[in-house]
Structure formats: C-alpha cells, structure tokens
Structure 1
C-alpha cells in the first residue's frame, strides 16, 4: 500500500472520529473538489465552508450552490442562522438577493 493511500485512509479515519466525514463525497460537483489537491470532498467542514464562500464571496445564488453541493436550498440558510448565528432576517423575501448585490454583485 502506498504512503499516499495510507495518508488518505488515516485522514478519513480522523474525519470519522471527529464526526466530520462527509457520507457522500462523490456527490460534490464543485470542480475544485474534483481536482487532486487541497480540497477534500470527504471533509464536511471544508465542504460547508466552500459552499458558503460561493454564496457570500462569489455571489452565487443559493440555487446554483445547491446544484454544486448536493443540499436542499434551505441548508445554506440554516447553516448561516444556526452555526454562524447571523441575524435571522434571512427569512425575509429578497434577503439573499440583496446580500449578493450589496457589494456590486
């Protein structure tokens, strides 16, 4: 068994132990997770971070992000509300559109 395979297996074991192993890494469609390198589709924390980054920094719509990261459309909003503790005004109509257009998007 190669060192690279051993490293990937040990990382997967560590992610599983921490409860952050993505149960369906093959479903991630974002190209950077398909290329071999830094981005690991098995790391659910990294996947969620990149998903939110695509919304906030790349100005992608929640629908577009939901297509690249196999989640329901409410999932990014729930992460923002529950994990990032952002103001719950995300429920207001047009909130995400206004957020995406605030910085010239």
Structure 2
C-alpha cells in the first residue's frame, strides 16, 4: 500500500524532527492497518530504530477513522506526537498501489 501524508500541524518541532516523526507515522500507520486496532499509544523510545534518531522523548497517539460517504472513502489516520512543549499533528491514509 502507498502511504500518503495529507496534512501536518507543527508546533515547535525542528525540520529534522518533523521528517523523522513523519517516517514513524507512516511505519505505524502501515503496521496496524491490517489489525482491528482503532487507537494506540506509543513511546518512541520503544522503537529499535529510534536509538539512531534521537527522538526518545516523543510519544505518539494514533487513531484510525473509517470515512464512508466523504470525498475520501476508506481509513484515515490521525496522529499526535508530543515531547514537552513540542507537538506535531499528522493526518494520512493508505492507498492501493
């Protein structure tokens, strides 16, 4: 499936942090898409690849919504990363390739 980022709202995250957090968003979105989970909370310190990225203090709350009858039909994902005063809100979806 193709991972699509639809919108971001950045509050005090650096450009590098945003790029890396968007990678995490896409990974989590794709990994739980095949499950029945509709909401999850993650501590980025628990991800193995995070040791190289320096995002240990961030957490992610991810939520899936089914949007039927809208301009977009399917599963839409909302995520909020937080670390102290920093916050990044992301929305996205998956498309068939």
In the superposition, the TM-score normalised over structure 2's length comes to: 0.29
Of structures 1 and 2, the one with the larger relative CO (CA 8 A, separation 6+) is: 2
Q: Max radius of gyration: which structure?
A: 1
In the superposition, the TM-score normalised over structure 1's length comes to: 0.27
Flag the structure with higher strand content.
Answer: 2
Flag the structure with higher helix content.
Answer: 1
